[in-house]
Structure 1
Amino acid sequence: MKQKITAFFVLFLTAVSYGQTTRYVYETLVNPDSINLVSMKSERTFLDVKGERSLFISENKLKRDSLFISLRPEAKENDKKEEKDLSKLEGKKNFEPTFFEYFITKSIPEQKVYYYEKAAGKQIYYQEDRPVKWNVTDIVDKQNGYPAQKAVAEFGGRVWTAWFTNEIPLSDGPYKFSGLPGLIVKLEDDKGDYKFDLVKKITVKNAFEEQLNSDAKQSTRVNFHGDKAALELEFGKNRKALAGNTGSGNINAGGRHSGGMNGGGMRSGGHGGGGMHRGMGNENQSFPMQQNSSAENHSFTGSIDQNPIELK
């Protein structure tokens, strides 16, 4: 009987813990311009761990995406309702900008890393094909309140120094970094452009989770920029053709052309060949909306042109 009770509580605690998200909050400093002398910009990023998976996302992007998704079911009722919901969003459109216009998921046991973005209203992703090769040193120190050990790795054209703690036996960290025998509590690059400091750990019930669309386009790190540009080009052509048809109808009806939509309005996400990530792009693309939705014509402050986190 005692064994049955013990087994019940083990299963109960497992179910409860699996339904909760452990959020590691990092105070993140970014140098937006590596050429001109400017001050560092601060933004909070989250590492949300649930079960054997994690999500890295900026606080500002999470707020925008969660708000926008919360309006989608209501907006589908009818066009008038959609316009009403979007008008409510209009008053909140000045979201705080983000340096991380993407999100990253990891399968922790397999150390698999996936990078997700939006291109012309469609999700596109790739699996990272470069495992981080850490050189773990014997240097120990206290970092952000934790006893930590120093490790160094070269990744994406930068040399990164990480401090990890065995007190949190989680092989994970901010951005694409993982693979150490403990959570990364501090991370910075050799150029001083990026710095992540763990500031707190909290438990979140019913945490927002980014949707992984079934029709998302799978790419590779090497081909990501080209595949993303192709999606944007195709979407631009479709919009241009639609605008041409609309304009033609206006000519027949009233003798004047309406002007149409700009088919070249979608910008590339700022990626260079080989997987450079600038965290920038058209503000409208960051929201998980269906293509051709009227919401794509609304402007939302969201992304920042920046010094890329990966240089190659």
Structure 2
Amino acid sequence: MKYLLIFLGLSSFCFSQKISFIYETKYKLNLEKPNNIYSDNMILDLKNNISIFRDSQDKKSDSIKLNNGNGRFKLGVENQFYVKKNLTQKRIEKVITYLGTNYLLPIEEILNWKITPEQKIIGEYNCQKAETNYGGRNWIAWFTTELPFGDGPYIFNGLPGLIVSIQDSNNEYSFNLIEVKKGGDIFDARTKTIKIDWTKYEILAKSYFDDPYDINSKVGMGKTVTFTDPKGNIMDISIKNKEMQNNILQKNNPIELNHKINYK
């Protein structure tokens, strides 16, 4: 495992300071191709018990939006990792960005942690093992009280210290801390949202699956999407729709396995 990049005197940080924790995130979306592993660096920004977890591209997109630019444009709703937490109020919310609209999905599943006596060193930190269930998966975490923040990657939180490493028992999703940074400001570019639940989340996903390239009616931008083959001939949109639908079906191993969508 990579050695963690740390700052001297980190344990003396006051809770009002802004800290960023960078996690190497690996996940398998297509179980028929188990060696096809996606990898992203995702960032947990934390200040005053408020945190935002997002991948590096989403953070860049948020920064651009706050400076009156155009952010990242997403089509589908699945496989998004954007999470806001208010640790004081014990409020966890997942943000789904779909066709320029931000949907707020409250996470109400309670994490019941079982802390075990087992310990090991990860990088520079003395860590202790804990286990929980979330999203239809069993999770094994390693946390350290040397970083006295009861937070962690994605929705995970509530332990006596920061989660340094966590993965599900099937080894399909993992988050591993690789760097710690201090300073800067925590910024939120997704404050205007539409609240949904898992039922509405599934409706959105199926709407996209049924007609992935129906940009004109979904966005209302008055644009027609066309595709051409290598010879420049216009392709039937139904062919591209079918290709996208097959891609969605192949990547249907969500982190919340208990909310896996049955498209057929």
In the alignment, is residue 154 of structure 1 matched against residue 133 of structure 2?
A: yes
The 2-side partners of 1:195 and 1:212 are apart by 28
**Against the structure 1 CA distance between its residues 243 and 26, is the aligned structure 2 distance closer, same or farther, given a 3 Å change threshold?**
closer
Partner of 1:170: 149
- What stretches of structure 2 of length at least 5 have no aligned partner? 1-12, 73-77, 225-236, 259-264
Is the contact between residue 129 and residue 221 of structure 1 (CA under 8 Å) also seen in structure 2? Answer: no
**Counterpart residue identity of residue 67, structure 2:** S
Partner of 1:4: none
- SS where residue 223 of structure 1 aligns? helix
Partner of 1:61: 58
**Counterpart residue identity of residue 217, structure 1:** I
The 2-side partners of 1:22 and 1:43 are apart by 19
1:109-258 pair list within 5 angstroms = 109-213=88-192, 216-226=193-203, 237=217
**Against the structure 1 CA distance between its residues 68 and 181, is the aligned structure 2 distance closer, same or farther, given a 3 Å change threshold?**
same
The 1-side partners of 2:102 and 2:36 are apart by 33
Deviation at 1:132, TM superposition (A): 1.1
- What stretches of structure 1 of length at least 5 have no aligned partner? 1-12, 73-85, 94-98, 245-261, 271-279, 281-303
Is the contact between residue 172 and residue 183 of structure 1 (CA under 8 Å) also seen in structure 2? Answer: yes
The 1-side partners of 2:86 and 2:167 are apart by 23
Deviation at 1:307, TM superposition (A): 3.4
The 1-side partners of 2:93 and 2:195 are apart by 10
Deviations 1:260-304 (A, max 9, x none): xx9xx99xxx9xxxxxxxxx8xxxxxxxxxxxxxxxxxxxxxxx9
Deviations 1:9-44 (A, max 9, x none): xxxx98xx74x5210111122224222242433211
- SS where residue 62 of structure 1 aligns? helix
Deviation at 1:51, TM superposition (A): 1.2
TM-score, reference length from structure 2: 0.70
**Against the structure 1 CA distance between its residues 33 and 204, is the aligned structure 2 distance closer, same or farther, given a 3 Å change threshold?**
farther
Is the contact between residue 137 and residue 151 of structure 1 (CA under 8 Å) also seen in structure 2? Answer: yes
**Given the alignment, which residue of 37, 42, 57 partners 2:39?**
42
Partner of 1:310: 256
**Higher radius of gyration, 1 or 2:** 1
Deviations 1:78-125 (A, max 9, x none): xxxxxxxx8xx9xxx9xxxxx953410001122210011123322111
In the alignment, is residue 24 of structure 1 matched against residue 21 of structure 2?
A: yes
- SS where residue 257 of structure 2 aligns? coil
- SS where residue 63 of structure 1 aligns? helix
Is the contact between residue 119 and residue 228 of structure 1 (CA under 8 Å) also seen in structure 2? Answer: no
Aligned CA-pair RMSD: 3.9
Deviation at 1:167, TM superposition (A): 1.4
The 1-side partners of 2:168 and 2:201 are apart by 24
**Against the structure 1 CA distance between its residues 137 and 227, is the aligned structure 2 distance closer, same or farther, given a 3 Å change threshold?**
same
Is the contact between residue 157 and residue 311 of structure 1 (CA under 8 Å) also seen in structure 2? Answer: yes
- Which has the larger share of helix? 1
Aligned length: 223
The 1-side partners of 2:124 and 2:44 are apart by 18
**Against the structure 1 CA distance between its residues 110 and 71, is the aligned structure 2 distance closer, same or farther, given a 3 Å change threshold?**
closer
- Larger mean CA deviation between 27-36 and 227-236 belongs to 227-236
The 2-side partners of 1:241 and 1:139 are apart by 56
Is the contact between residue 215 and residue 223 of structure 2 (CA under 8 Å) also seen in structure 1? Answer: no
